[in-house]
Amino acid sequence: MFGDTPPPWLSWANTSGARATTTIVAVIALVLSAVLAVRQQGYISCVAEQQQIDAARTRAIAAATDVERQADKALIEGPRPGGPSEEQLRARAAAAREVTDTVRRQNQPPPARTC
């Protein structure tokens, strides 16, 4: 744009000191960018690992929780003609809750950690 003769207010840009300063700033920016990229990748890996652990725990608990919900729903709806009595419905709900509690005890949440 200006060729080899910059305007007076940019004359400092054509000095070796300005070129060296620009190079140093660029190198620092590249190094900082690389450090941040490595740290970000570590954070992403950490979060992904925690999500995988949590997903495995959720899968283990989901089936028992679904059975417990069905038993609770049947208890709320109450006894039906030709179906189980209210006492049987309560016993089923209590048994389902005990199974869910057992599964939860066997699949404790992982210890909290920060990434």
Q: Which pLDDT tens digit goes with each residue over 73-91?
A: 999 988 888 888 899 999 9
Chain centroid to Cα 57, Å, comes to 14
CA distance 21 to 51: 45
pLDDT band of 2, cuts 50, 70, 90: low
How large a percentage of the chain has pLDDT more than 90? 62
Residue 60: pLDDT above 80? yes
pLDDT recorded at residue 62: 93
pLDDT recorded at residue 110: 84
Residue 3: pLDDT above 70? no
pLDDT recorded at residue 93: 93
Contact (Cβ atoms closer than 8 angstroms) between residue 67 and residue 100: yes
pLDDT recorded at residue 55: 93
Region for 97 from its dihedrals, namely left if φ exceeds 0, alpha if ψ lies in -120 to 50, beta otherwise: alpha
pLDDT digits (tens, 9 = 90+) for 91-104: 999 999 999 999 99
pLDDT recorded at residue 95: 94
Three-state DSSP class for residue 82 = coil
Residue 112: pLDDT above 90? no
